[in-house]
Amino acid sequence: MTLLFRHHVVSSDFEQYFNIAKKLDLGPSELLSLSLENTLKIGTDDRSGKPMLQPSVFQKFTQTRPEAGSIFDRLPPESQEVIKGYQVTPERVFAAPINRPKRILFFTNNWNFLDQVSDVFMEQGYEVRFLDYRFVKEAIAQKKKSAGTQILNKAKGWKPSGFTPAQLADQNPMVAELFEWCDVVFCEWLNDAATYLSLYAPQDKKVVLRLHSYEAFVAHPYLANLQRFDGIVFIADHIREVFKAVLGDELMPNCPNTVIANLRNLPALHPAQRTSSALKTLGMTQYASENKDPMFALDILDELRKSDPDWRIRFVGTPWAPNASDAAYGAEFLARAKALGDAVIVDGFTDNIQNWYAQIGFILSTSHREGSHESLVEGMLTGAVPVLRNWPMVAPYGAPQTVFPDLPSINTAKEAATLILNASNAMDLAAKHAIDYASNAVQNSGSRAQIVEFVDQVLAKAE
């Protein structure tokens, strides 16, 4: 019933459907999700459940924000009431550790960017442990099977159904023990794990949240108690600005926040020797996503081949999943790529990225949005010349200059082709500039001391 109802919500009659939903006894979280999905469409027909990830939808939000306000401002009063009901500043009972090392628990279900972060805390004398959110989710399912594995979907009352870590001790003692052990929980991504923490973390524990990019475009910020966090780390200035825009002043957390770039944990890369063929080859990694916009990369190739058919492009990474939400885009891309014949090489996953970079002369960043784009830096370290798009979804918020200051960027495929041809006329110099820029970026990325200092300050702050 809920799924059927969800697919029939349209902007013009949402208030009527909201009242019907209440009569169907849907929980507040389900009502809120319906409201968000409807509001975020902003007049478009989207059934993905994550319409703000669509460039056209988010760009329309940005264009209408001066008059219509934040996402929160656009929600029906009933949904605003639900969100406000989540925003509770808890009474704190935190006591700083005495005569022992500080203890930090890393907690997430996505560990891609945490190796360097956890290492630096160990280097600075913290005791470090790790907990994957799936253990909490599984324990909740065992504790109350009727809640299912997604604690937010079956809410009744004003708080999603779930259990504190201590209440899960019978199902998984490790969960309770790790939360009892730590002084601070460092949560990566504002997703289900962070939402759980915001509602059920023990009040005598500090919670620090690190935000990337994806979270600003989905519903989690509206389902969490944002006032529970004691400190927030953004990976780029433009990401902080996007969060301010979508949440508005009323929802933006009032805890200390800072901007610290990703601590880069790049593979051992070095300048590569390239053949003449490689120098006329564009390259793109992790291409299989509409957000990465590999068809824009094909547009660039088309521009170059108008005057020189020797230009080629290589793509590397895991291919499109058959059931991906952007599978239609993927199919169109693959059809275009096939039509270009030998000019397009689609490589699978590789564990020798240094060798792959040696086969390209230019590394592309054609995404609609990014928080930080590590692959661009990787390619530059090998001497591949960067082709950086003005990521259109987040350009109004200062990107990509907030991440790559002084690096030339382009808006159109024609501009990209001009940049590439100009660089080709002085390739040795262009490659040296790329290597120097990337080396400097790695050395100055997210200060290792800075992130520890921020957590130290959170722990030292009296409540």
User: Which helix or strand (DSSP H or E) is residue 345 part of?
Assistant: strand 344-347
Q: At what angle do helices 327-339 and 294-305 cross, to 10 degrees?
A: 20
* Burial of 53 (C-beta count, 10 Å sphere; 0-12/13-18/19+): buried
Please name the helix (run of DSSP H) or strand (run of DSSP E) that holds residue 73, with its range, or none: helix 71-74
Distance (Å, rounded) from C-alpha 293 to C-alpha 330?
10
Q: Where are the domains of the chain?
A: 2-85, 103-263+447-460, 278-444
Rg (CA), the chain: 24
φ, ψ (nearest 5 deg) of residue 386: -80, 140
Q: What is the DSSP string of 274-320?
A: --TTGGGEEEEES--STTT-HHHHHHHHHHHHTT-TT-EEEEES---
Q: How many CA atoms lie within 13 A of 268 on its CB side?
A: 0
What is d(CA 177, CA 169) in angstroms, rounded to the nearest whole number?
Answer: 8
- Give long-range contacts, CB 8 A cutoff, 24+ apart: 211-215: 211/235, 211/239, 211/243, 212/113, 212/239, 212/371, 213/239, 213/242, 213/369, 213/370, 213/371, 213/394, 214/53, 214/189, 214/371, 215/189, 215/190, 215/191
240: helix, strand or coil: helix
Residue-level pLDDT at 462: 67
Q: Which residues contact 429 (CB under 8 A, 6 or more apart)?
A: none
Bridge partner list, 387: 364
* Residue 343 DSSP class: G
Query: 3-state DSSP: the chain helix, strand, coil percent, rounded to 5?
Result: 50, 10, 40
Which two three-digit tokens encode residue 49? 């459940």
Residue 153 is classified by DSSP as T
Q: Which CATH code fits 103-263+447-460?
A: 3.40.50.2000
- Nearest CA-CA partner of 190 in 237, 149, 160, 233: 233
Asked if 103-263+447-460 and 278-444 have one fold, the answer is yes
pLDDT at 140: 85
DSSP one-letter code for 426: T
Quickly count: other Cβ atoms within 10 Å of residue 81's Cβ: 14
Q: Which residues of 171-208 are buried (b: 16+ CB within 10 A; e: fewer)?
A: bbeebbebbeebbbbbbbbbbbbbbbbbbbbbeebbbb
Residues of the chain with pLDDT under 70: 1-51, 144-162, 264-267, 444-446, 462-463
Q: Is 180 helix (H, G, I), strand (E, B) or coil?
A: helix
Q: Tell me the CATH architecture of domain 278-444.
A: 3-Layer(aba) Sandwich (3.40)
Taking the CA atoms of 219, 217, 372 and 351 in sequence, report the sign of the dihedral they define: positive
pLDDT in tens, 228-275: 999 999 999 999 999 999 999 888 998 999 999 887 656 678 999 999
Sign of CA pseudo-dihedral 353, 356, 360, 361: positive
Asked if omega into 400 is within 30° of 0 (cis), the reply is yes
Residues 6+ apart with CB under 8 A from 428: none
